[in-house]
Structure 1
Amino acid sequence: MLEPMTIDTSQSSVGFDPTPNAPAAPAPTPVVPASPSAAMSIRGLFKRFGDKVAVNGLSLDIPVGSFYGLVGPNGAGKTTTLNMVTGLLVPDAGTAMILGHDVWSDVNRAKRSIGVMPQSDQIFDRLTGLQLLVYSGMLRGMGRAETVRRAHDLLGAFDLEQAANKMVVDYSAGMTKKICLAAAMIHSPRVLVLDEPFESVDPVSSANLKDILIEYARTGGTVIISSHVMALVEKMCTHVAVINQGQVCAAGTVEEVAAGEDLEDRFLQLVGGRHAAAHLSWLDGGADEPSAAPAIGSEA
């Protein structure tokens, strides 16, 4: 049996070689120990791409059974953070634990506890929807009979029964999003990680997906979503973290973070960047346009 691979994520072990004028890693500071009782516990997570610091010493605890939203502007570090804590991207520094187990000391063990929704370009779209779900379940070590049963259950729940034997490459964007979510759920993970799960999904399907996810969280599962839609997060999530420039600006229950305000207004206060509408002299809705030219054949 292969020994689990241990990855040293200290700066010296991953080729951390700051270049002149490049942002440096944060200086080591005492931090609260990771919480083994949390669904996900992150401490001092750091990642840099070239001269850009994508995640800058991020720390966060996500409670078991919560419906947790990660919100932030484009480039805030949400996706990079999720990739590191789910074992898809090696961090430059810091630690992440899932249900009390360090992710990078045993990546395979951590991955068995989670379901990660793949992007549309990360799946085998030349399979049918049913084949993709069966493949996803058996890849997780499930037996064929149980996998087929669950696949049909998911196809029904996501209104994809009529497309079960249709190749995924021929699915619409919304259908593809749903089959990707189904693939992440087929092994009944304890933690479900979804990056923009409702993008391109029609309102009816979106409502059905929300009901499924909320019920999953009620049974003790933990849902972690990243989203740009504040209204969706405010309505669905029990907890939220606002991330900006690779750090957590605020975290807690939705009510705690909103602090008595609309969540979107509070979000804008925390991340900044909003400015007065620019006045473009030429953008006037046609008010200064000359009257329409006469139709061909009419008198001038």
Structure 2
Amino acid sequence: MIDIANVSKRYGNKVAVEDLNLAIPDGELFAFLGPNGAGKTTTIKMLCGLLFPTTGTVRVGGFDVTTHGDESRKLVSYVPDQPFLYEKLTGREFLQFTADLYAMDPDHAKERMERVRQQFHLDEFLDTLTERYSHGMRQRTVFAAALLHEPKLLIADEPTVGLDPKSIRELKVLLRQLAKGGTTVFLSTHTLDIAQELADRVGVIHNGRLIACDTVDGLRKKANSDGTLEDVFMKITEESPSLEPGAEAMG
């Protein structure tokens, strides 16, 4: 589903991503970890077609995001860390707006809206203006909209921020169900216990470079540690070399 080959992204002499190679198959739940400024956001924006690589290619579902962005974007949904809604729309109107953006068949859109309404327990606020929503209500609505067109790739950036324990549990079940059903889930998070619990594989980016990519057990072997993913992450990133003089990681 995701094929990133020899990708670098630079802004002048500032390095956001350096020589990134990453392949993620259909149905994998992949956790993307890294310190702030490591290059996670830049990588996500390239997957979404919001940024183009300076060198190399990014393909989603076989489509080059630079030359076939319309086709690749149809396969993707992105849930950002700060959920955005049009505040003068109700939740129902926002879902309809999303269906129209993807040019969904009206009957299928109606069926899918009913499905996500039930799935995310939206009844109590679906016809309320979204400007009145709490963070948790916003997050549920954004996820419902993201899954409306049944994407092949779901990118979720810090999806558990601001959620209560019950909502976090429901979200974890949802992400595993999506992956089991064949949807590729690209999860960017600082919540390492969730990554350890859910991910099929974990990638660690640091200073713009992918310094490790494996199962949690594989990363433990790499770090020569039998500790938690947090222990392994700290050891791997602390041992990673710094950027060359004159370069600065960002994104």
The TM-score normalised by the length of structure 2 is 0.88
Identity among equivalent positions (%) equals 34
**CA 1:141–1:119 in structure 2 vs 1: closer, same or farther (change >3 Å)?**
farther
Q: Which deviates more from structure 2 when the two are superposed, residues 232-241 or residues 212-221?
A: 212-221
Counterpart of 2:209 (choices 239, 247, 269) is: 247
What is aligned with 1:77?
Answer: 39
Counterpart of 2:198 (choices 229, 236, 239) is: 236
State the structure with bigger RCO (CA 8 A, min sep 6), 1 or 2: 2
Counterpart of 1:197 (choices 145, 156, 159) is: 159
Counterpart of 2:137 (choices 175, 179, 189) is: 175
Q: Give the drift of 1:52.
A: 2.3
1:266 aligns with 2:232: yes
What is aligned with 2:63?
Answer: 101
**CA 1:243–1:190 in structure 2 vs 1: closer, same or farther (change >3 Å)?**
same
Q: Give the drift of 1:135.
A: 1.1
Q: Give the drift of 1:119.
A: 5.5
The gaps in structure 2 that reach 5 residues or longer are 240-251
In the alignment of these two chains, the number of paired residues is 235
Greater share of strand: 2
Q: Which deviates more from structure 2 when the two are superposed, residues 240-249 or residues 255-264?
A: 255-264
Q: Which runs of 4+ in 1 moved over 3 A?
A: 118-123
What is aligned with 2:242?
Answer: none
Return the alpha-carbon distance in structure 1 between the equivalents of residues 235 and 146 of structure 2.
Answer: 34
Largest Rg, 1 or 2: 1
- Residue identity in the other structure for 2:231: D
Counterpart of 1:208 (choices 159, 170, 187) is: 170
Return the alpha-carbon distance in structure 2 between the equivalents of residues 271 and 246 of structure 1.
Answer: 12
The TM-score normalised by the length of structure 1 is 0.74
What is aligned with 1:3?
Answer: none
**CA 1:258–1:128 in structure 2 vs 1: closer, same or farther (change >3 Å)?**
farther
What is aligned with 2:125?
Answer: 163
The answer on whether the counterparts of 1:53 and 1:246 sit within 8 Å (CA) in structure 2 is yes
Q: Give the drift of 1:123.
A: 3.3
Spell out, residue by residue over 1:14-63, the C-alpha distance to the aligned partner (whole angstroms, 9 max, x if none): xxxxxxxxxxxxxxxxxxxxxxxxx1011122122344211112111112
The answer on whether the counterparts of 2:83 and 2:142 sit within 8 Å (CA) in structure 1 is no
What is aligned with 2:2?
Answer: 40
Counterpart of 1:88 (choices 27, 45, 50) is: 50
